[in-house]
C-alpha cells in the first residue's frame, strides 16, 4: 500500500472509534485535519561546494492538551501525507497515556546514508532554521525518529539556541544526557513495548518464559524490544532489517545480533542462523510478532496468514484497518501502536519536564514512572476492549478521544448546549 493512503488509515481508525462513541460531529471534525502543516525547502552546501535543496515538513495536528510533540525523520520516502498521519497518531498517543501534549511530526526527504557527517549537520541545522518560527519548548518539541538520533537532536538544540540567543535544552528531547537528555530515553520505546507485552500476556494467559518472538525491523525500537523481551524469558527466533533477515529455531542472543548489525550494517549473515524473507517473518508461527519497521506492513493481503498469538506494534501504523478486522476475527491480541510504543513520548515528556525544572532524575526513577504510566494505560484500553467488545485499537482510540473531548469542551472549542457551568 502506498504512502498516499496512510492518512486515510488514520481517518478510518478515528471513524471506527467515533461510531462506537457516537462522537459529537464537531469533535470529529476538529480531529480530522491538522491545525497546520509547514512545507519548507532547505538549501544545503554539499562537500563538493554544490548546493542541494531538500524538501521538509512539520505538521502540528492538535494542541488542545498542550504543546505539540513528535519526532523528525530523515527518510527517502517522507511525504506530507505520512507526516500528517504520524502527527495525528501522536495526538491520540499522548492523550491515551495522559501526558499534556498534542501531536506533531516532521520529516526531511533524504537518505542520510548518502550524506557525509558535515552534510548531515548542515541539513539538520538548516531544517531547524526553516521551522524555527513554529517550534519551541512551549509550542512544539521535536524528537528523534527514523534515521535521526541524539546527535541530530544536539544540532537541532544548538542551532535553535543560537537563533533565540539563549540556551534552550527543552526545545527537543532525545538529547545526550550531557546536554539535558534523560536517562532511559534511548530505550524507552522498547521498554514501553515490554511493559505492555507483559500485561497483555497476563490478560490472555500467555506464558512468556519460552515464548517465541519475531521482530520486524532491528533499529532502536526493534533491537531493544528483543533485548527486553528476552530478559522476560522470551526466545527471539527471527529478526530482519532493510537488507535481510535471520531465523534460528533455538533462538539467538539479541544483544549479540545488535552488535553484529552495528559492525556489518545488517542482521543478515549472523552465525548459526538461516536467511528468511520479510513476508515469511511476518507470517511465522510464533507467539509474539513485533513490527518495528515502517507503516503498512500487515495488510489485507497477508493478515489471514498471520499466526502469532500477539502483535506488539513497536512501529507506527504497521497494520491497516482492513487487516485489523481480519486479525480481530482470528482472536489475535494486538497491542496497538498508540499504546505499545508510547514509552518513547512518555520519557520524552519526562525529559522536557526535567529541562524546564533544571532538575534531573535517576534511571530507576524514570523506569518506575514509565512503568506506572504504561500499565495504567494498558488497563484502561483492555477494560474498554472487554466492556465494549471492540478490538484493542478501537478501544485505545476511545480512551484517547474521551480525554481530548473533555479538554475541547472545557476550553470552549466546541459548544454542548446540554451542559451547564
Cβ-Cβ contacts under 8 Å for 87 (sequence gap 6 or more): 34, 59, 60, 61, 68, 70, 103, 104, 105
Alpha-carbon distance 237 to 273, whole Å? 9
Looking only at the bridges linking them, the beta strands covering 288-291 and 212-216 are parallel
- Terminal alpha carbon distance of the chain: 48
Cell of 102: 498534542
Catalytic residue among 69, 105, 261, 268: 105
105 given a catalytic annotation = yes
Cell of 50: 554544490
Residue 295 neighbours by CB under 8 Å, 6+ apart: 3, 6, 9, 82, 85, 315, 316, 317, 318
Phi, psi of 143 (to 5 degrees): -160, 170
CA separation, residue 275 to residues 219, 227, 270 (Å): 18, 21, 9
Of the candidates 155, 153, 232, the one whose C-alpha atom is nearest the C-alpha of residue 190 is: 232
Grid cell 526493534 in the structure block, residue: 222
> What residues are annotated to the active site?
105
Amino acid at each position: 500500500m502506498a504512502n498516499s493512503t496512510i492518512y486515510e488509515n488514520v481517518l478510518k481508525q478515528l471513524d471506527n472509534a467515533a461510531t462506537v462513541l457516537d462522537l459529537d460531529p464537531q469533535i470529529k471534525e476538529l480531529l480530522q485535519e491538522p491545525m497546520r502543516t509547514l512545507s519548507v525547502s532547505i538549501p544545503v552546501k554539499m562537500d563538493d561546494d554544490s548546493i542541494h535543496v531538500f524538501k521538509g515538513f512539520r505538521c502540528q495536528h492538535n494542541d488542545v492538551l498542550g504543546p505539540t510533540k513528535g519526532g523528525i525523520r530523515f527518510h527517502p520516502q517522507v511525504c506530507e501525507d505520512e507526516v500528517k498521519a504520524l502527527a495525528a497518531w501522536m495526538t491520540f498517543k499522548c492523550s491515551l497515556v495522559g501526558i499534556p501534549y498534542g501531536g506533531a511530526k516532521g520529516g526531511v526527504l533524504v537518505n542520510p546514508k548518502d550524506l557525509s557527517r558535515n552534510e548531515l549537520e548542515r541539513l539538520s541545522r538548516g531544517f531547524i532554521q526553516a521551522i524555527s518560527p513554529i517550534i519551541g519548548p512551549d509550542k512544539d518539541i521535536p524528537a528523534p525518529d527514523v534515521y535521526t538520533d541524539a546527535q541530530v537532536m544536539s544540532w537541532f538544540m544548538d542551532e535553535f539556541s543560537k537563533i533565540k540567543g539563549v540556551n534552550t535544552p527543552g526545545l527537543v528531547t532525545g538529547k545526550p544526557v550531557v546536554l539535558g537528555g534523560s536517562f532511559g530515553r534511548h530505550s524507552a520505546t522498547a521498554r514501553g513495548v515490554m511493559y505492555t507485552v507483559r500485561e497483555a500476556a497476563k490478560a490472555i494467559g500467555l506464558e512468556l518464559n519460552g515464548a517465541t518472538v519475531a521482530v520486524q525491523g532491528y533499529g532502536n525500537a526493534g533491537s531493544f524490544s528483543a533485548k527486553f523481551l528476552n530478559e522476560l524469558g522470551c526466545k527471539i527466533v527471527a529478526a530482519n532489517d532493510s537488507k535481510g533477515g535471520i531465523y534460528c529455531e533455538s533462538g539467538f542472543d539479541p544483544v549479540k545480533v545488535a552488535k553484529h548489525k552495528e559492525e556489518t550494517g545488517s542482521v543478515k549473515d549472523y552465525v548459526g542462523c538461516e536467511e528468511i524473507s520479510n513476508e515469511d517473518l511476518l507470517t511465522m508461527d510464533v507467539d509474539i510478532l513485533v513490527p518495528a519497521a515502517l507503516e503498512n506492513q500487515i495488510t489485507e493481503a497477508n493478515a489471514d496468514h498471520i499466526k502469532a498469538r500477539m502483535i506488539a506494534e513497536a512501529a507506527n501504523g504497521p497494520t491497516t484497518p482492513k487487516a485489523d478486522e481480519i486479525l480481530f476475527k482470528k482472536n489475535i491480541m494486538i497491542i496497538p501502536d498508540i499504546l505499545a510504543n508510547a514509552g518513547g513520548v512518555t520519557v520524552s515528556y519526562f525529559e522536557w519536564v526535567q529541562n524546564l525544572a533544571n532538575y534531573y532524575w535517576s534511571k530507576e526513577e524514570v523506569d518506575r514512572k514509565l512503568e506506572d504510566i504504561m500499565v495504567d494505560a494498558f488497563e484502561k484500553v483492555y477494560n474498554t476492549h472487554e466492556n465494549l467488545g471492540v478490538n484493542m485499537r478501537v478501544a485505545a482510540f476511545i480512551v484517547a478521544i474521551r480525554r481530548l473531548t473533555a479538554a475541547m469542551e472545557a476550553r470552549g472549542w466546541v459548544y454542548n448546549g446540554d451542559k451547564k457551568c
